[in-house]
Amino acid sequence: MLKRKGLYTLLMSMILWASSTATEAAVIKKREFRGAWIQAVNGQFQGMSKSEMQRVLTYQLNELQRDGVNAIIFQVRPECDALYQSQYEPWSKFLSGRQGLAPNPYWDPLAWMIEECHKRGMELHAWINPFRAKTAGTKELSNNHVAIKHPNRVFSYNGQLILNPALAENRVYICNVVNDIVRRYDVDGLHIDDYFYPYPAAGFTIDDDREFRQNNNGITNKGDWRRDNVNIFIKQLSDSIHSAKPWVKFGISPFGIYRNKKSAPQIGSDTNGLQNYDDLYADVLLWVNNGWVDYCVPQLYWQIGNKAADYETLIKWWNKYASNRPLYIGEDIERTVKYQDIQNPSQNQMPAKYALQNRMENVQGVVLWYAKTAVDNIGNYGTNLRTNYWRYPSLQPRMSFIDDKAPKKPKRLKKVWTEDGYMLFWKAPKGKHWDDVAHKYVVYKFDHDEEININDASKIVEITSKTYTKLPYDDGTKKMKYVVTALDRMSNESKIAKKKVKL
């Protein structure tokens, strides 16, 4: 009797545990940044024809859309070059195969990606590497490359060339490049990663003694001076972006450790690895707390239980200290599915990581490193996104510090039979300025006797830039209510417009 009772208790405990785990893993969020990095520097597109690259990117975007991704971070400047038409920098070798050689037949990957992402309801964030002028693998630079035209403005380090952050002309130059992108292209964001001063390499030193002597701004510690150089740049770039287009989001993806506790006992994390502040001279918390960036994506690429940099330790640290701006988590898909869940070795760490994210009150999204691994469905990661974690569409997180005023609601909802089927049309509301013009629309569907609750993300049918949606007509006997709201560029949502339909 005691054994049977004990077994029953154990079974009930297991059922409750499994139920609570599944519920936690499948939290439905109406607003969440669901990004994916598409990089060029790994050479995945190098030398591809226009048609082949567009075919590959189309497939990736379609799969990512099915996975629930709502933002693409697309690398357009790996080494002071361009995967777009630039007046400042040469065409990238990671596109045509040779730096300075335009694609033939001509096309503009950035312009094409913006159009393709927007028609799928995705944001497009243009990703640049600000200071890296040459990767170690590049052997030839174009005659119009900044390192050829101005060799005195770069220093070499471990096979790379780096635009010297100490030089004001380099900071101005990068801002001009970014301004050109922001003004000419309808990007939703401008994104930089973790490369400022170079990652330390044994046997190499940064050659900036002369600049430190000549222009140290009264700062006596070289580390503090290097951080000040990067701080000046970040503030300058932020101001430059927002003066051109206030709605373009400026995001940064820093290395996953700010400082170790042994370097900074009061604020450091209980980790033992390379540090943003001390090794890359990147004071990320200063930028976040001063509002110089609009979102932050620390690269938490380690597994739960990593001895040097435990994922759980780090997500809790960033959640605590980096809450002044929207916080998204950079996730390494390959490492996530490679390692077993510590508590449940029969599965990988994806459920445990998403459960942790859901418990962090300041974490508002995830960015996947990298897009192709989700598309390739390594460890069923993509399947789990589309069937569980991201199975419903999601709006972008609010950024009220940029704009918090909602647009007016859509007008004149109308049911129309067309040659393409039964459609619901509406009119865009009036708006005069960028912050009150409708940019997208959210379409919800409810049963006829169901209370309208637009906070229920499971009722979202579509997030679209179009002013119509196709209705799933069957036999005309099922009564439903459709609700449409308008979103501005900062995803502020209008009041509802509704229409009864029979499907």
Q: What is the pLDDT of residues 481-502, one digit of tens each?
A: 999 999 999 999 999 999 999 9
What pLDDT is stored for residue 19 in this prediction? 36
**Tokens 């469905």 label which residue?**
377
DSSP sequence for 42-79: T-TTTT--HHHHHHHHHHHHHHHHHHT--EEEEEEESS
Handedness of CA 322, 327, 332, 335 (dihedral sign): positive
DSSP sequence for 153-210: GEEEETTEEEE-TT-HHHHHHHHHHHHHHHHHS--SEEEE-S-SSPPP-TT-----HH
Edge to edge, the sheet with strand 421-427 lists 411-418, 421-427, 468-470
| Residue 94 C-beta-side C-alpha neighbours within 13 Å | 22
What pLDDT is stored for residue 24 in this prediction? 44
Ramachandran category for residue 227: left, alpha or beta (phi over 0 → left; psi -120 to 50 → alpha) = alpha
Residues of the chain below pLDDT 50: 1-25
Tokens of 141: 């630079």
pTM: 0.94
Tokens of 401: 């510090």
Q: What number of H helices and E strands is found in the chain?
A: 14, 18
Nearest to 445 by CA among 418, 414, 415, 484: 484
Reported for 299-302, long-range contacts at CB under 8 A and 24+ positions apart, including other chains, are 299/194, 299/253, 299/254, 299/255, 299/256, 299/330, 299/332, 299/369, 300/256, 300/329, 300/330, 300/331, 300/332, 301/256, 301/330, 301/331, 301/332, 301/335, 301/369, 302/256, 302/332, 302/335
What pLDDT is stored for residue 3 in this prediction? 39
Edge to edge, the sheet with strand 154-157 lists 132-134, 160-163, 154-157
What pLDDT is stored for residue 12 in this prediction? 39
